[in-house]
Structure 1
């Protein structure tokens, strides 16, 4: 029987070891590599071609989001399950928009993660059950304005730049550094963006950017 080859990417050694121990108790799963940062995850994935990647979001060198972006834009098809502490719908929707096949919280039962790996390996999408309501709510919110393509015409060129970086998942400090402006200026731009797009938070703004192809 062919085993499902899994690559674990997490910057905590104890987490990686614990996951490996749990997963290798299953007859149909084997861990082929462990990465401690996003850069290692990308390099190992390209070299080993695992069937499923377990990807943490917060990692050094390259974040999980950056690693996902690189892998999903490559010619290979990588199946990625985000394994994270983040229960925010912002991260859930963001990673699904990027093409990830699964989303599981680190405090989930081991059986949930194992089900996720088998489901994703079988070409299905797996969202941890208690997170699906967040996804549905966000989708409902998106439909309120997804057909309004004229709103972005009211944005200045700088506001569009800021919106693109919001869609990339950057926080205010990162946006300020990227655009060589102050965090206060970033906050002002974001406030104007929310008002012009008639959205209430960064998640809605990011979804608007994706839906209307306003990307970096």
Structure 2
């Protein structure tokens, strides 16, 4: 019987290798990537059965990458790992259709359980957060309420790169667009977020948990 294929995404090589060693007996790890942009590309190219991804990654975070992948591939199962225990991240993940959500400090056996769960078309949420998430939805708080949701995926990508201290020219090179296009995205973000100037973009993003 062929092993199910897994694509790993984490910008910490030791973490990714640890996960590979953990699941290697039961699953075939076909690639490890270090940023969300590459994750989207490799998911399209390799068509894995499962993606296990960190949320906090450079260029494009795991949530935004997952949203892009799910939009074009409804069959792939995505499990997100995070250091963030805040409900808003978990609820955002559920809203975009992610299949599993675990905290990074969970026991290794929990990831193995999550992998088995998503493969039978069920959703796995770490027990640490499951009850709070259910309560939030029952109280009509299903919407993540993220003020950054008004941004397009490209705008969020530009904003994340700004948070990572890249200049407009560096962002243009990373995204393969012109510097003028980057400046236009900054202008539009100031407009839709109702900020006073581009100088407020990074503080606003950090305050609202852009990862």
TM-score, normalisation: structure 1: 0.68
The answer to whether the 8 A contact 1:8-1:34 is kept is yes
User: Could you tell me how far 1:98 is from its partner in structure 2?
Assistant: 0.2
2:27 to 26, 29, 32: 29
C-alpha RMSD of the superposition: 3.5
Q: Could you state the TM-score of these two structures normalised by the residue count of structure 2?
A: 0.70
Q: CA deviation at 1:141?
A: 2.0
3-state SS, counterpart of residue 106 of structure 2: coil
Distance 1:182 1:128, change over 3 A: same
1:118 to 92, 98, 116: 116
Contact kept, 8 Å, 1:42 with 1:67, in 2: the verdict is yes
Q: Rg: which structure is higher?
A: 1
Q: Which residue of 2 aligns with 1:129?
A: 127
1:93 corresponds to: 91
**Whole-Å Cα distance in 1 between the matches of residues 7 and 70 of structure 2?**
15
Q: What is aligned with 2:7?
A: 7
Aligned length: 173
CA contact (8 A) 1:82 1:100 kept: yes
- For structure 1, list consecutive stretches of 5 or more residues without a partner in the other structure: 147-160, 191-201, 203-216
- Paired with 2:78 and 2:4, the residues of 1 have a C-alpha distance of 13
Who is 1:164 aligned against?
Answer: 150
Deviation at 1:75, TM superposition (A): 4.4
CA distance in 2, matches of 1:2, 1:86: 34
Structure 1 pair 46–163 and aligned structure 2 pair: CA distance change class (3 A):
closer
Question: Structure 2 stretches of 5 or more lacking a match?
Answer: 164-184
